[in-house]
Amino acid sequence: MGVLAVAAAVAGAAAGAVAARAAYAAFRRRPPIGDEKTWTRSNHRGEPITLLEGPALVAGAGAATALVPGLPARLRAAALLAGLGGGALGAYDDVLGTTTSKGFKGHLTALARGEVTSGAIKIIGIGATGLAAAVLARDPAARPSGAAVGALDTLLDGAVIAGSANLANLFDLRPGRAIKVAFLAGTPLLAASLATRTTGVPARNATAAVLTAVPLGAAAALLPEDLGERAMLGDAGANALGALLGLAATVRLGRTGRLVVLGTVAALTAASEKVSFTKVIAANPVLNRVDMLGRRPVPPPPVVVSATP
């Protein structure tokens, strides 16, 4: 475990956490757009909850990315584009979005018949920012032989970033779930980045470590608000969190690893069109225990008393 990578990870996580908490406090006093009602929605219990956790994560991770040392300029720019771009498009859907069409398939089906939904705009926009971030992140000194191979690698990276952004949002249906999934995915990535024996390239490991630690630190700082059902990530926070972790994966993993990530993301996204993640999680004792960790208990169903004479 390299000292450089560990120091980078600690600095990134701390910067992300401090900036996210500061941004959340500031946005609760004065929302970035509109007023408090603009960002208030009803949660799964029908209780009012704020979406300002999302902009706070976007702003916190963005500030930390801009200020934390140890990132090459191209990767700093790529992370800012992926996080801020995904967050801005998510916020657009949070504030101005409609629910006439739902899911990836629903928005693309509506687009095919000429109806441009806010979700379709977000999908296309996140795809574009993901690809642009992948272009920025490519290391000119590490390009493979042949322009075609390099172009395919860039398309693969862009798909991982955009797909991860969309998938994170699919889990933001219960308190803390999207952040827990981010930690389940991000912790092995961070551990691999801290293990210098894996690649023998300490500078690359330190870069991947800080790219992973920044969004995880910001998410961890906001987790109490999420679990306490006072706030939720919304599209803004979930899209940004997923995009940043996707970018970190493209930096740390080889082509085979990135293909595995993309395949997993695609499979889960496709599955979400057919099954309810919430029902699947509730039916599995282990997944349900993890999902309920730190959350308020789910109230039992009402008892129906028969009025038999």
Q: How many domains does the chain have?
A: 1
pTM for this structure?
Answer: 0.89
- The verdict on residue 84 lying in a domain is yes
- The verdict on residue 304 lying in a domain is no
- The verdict on residue 153 lying in a domain is yes
Cβ(235)–Cβ(97) below 8 Å: yes
Region of 254 please: left (phi>0), alpha (psi -120 to 50) or beta.
Answer: beta
- The verdict on residue 266 lying in a domain is yes
Which pLDDT tens digits describe the chain residue by residue (309 residues)?
567 778 888 999 999 999 999 999 999 999 999 899 999 998 888 889 999 999 999 999 999 999 998 899 999 999 999 999 999 999 998 888 766 656 566 666 666 666 667 777 888 899 999 999 999 998 776 655 566 667 889 999 999 999 999 999 999 999 999 999 999 999 999 998 887 554 445 566 789 999 999 999 999 999 999 999 999 999 999 999 999 999 999 999 999 999 999 999 999 999 988 899 999 999 999 999 999 999 988 766 666 555 555
- The verdict on residue 189 lying in a domain is yes
- The verdict on residue 302 lying in a domain is no
Domain range for residue 140?
3-292
What pLDDT does 147 receive?
64
- The verdict on residue 49 lying in a domain is yes
Amino acid at 308: T
- The verdict on residue 62 lying in a domain is yes
| 3-class secondary structure, 100 | coil
Determine the Cα–Cα distance for residues 25 and 157; give it in Å rounded to an integer.
34
Amino acid at 307: A
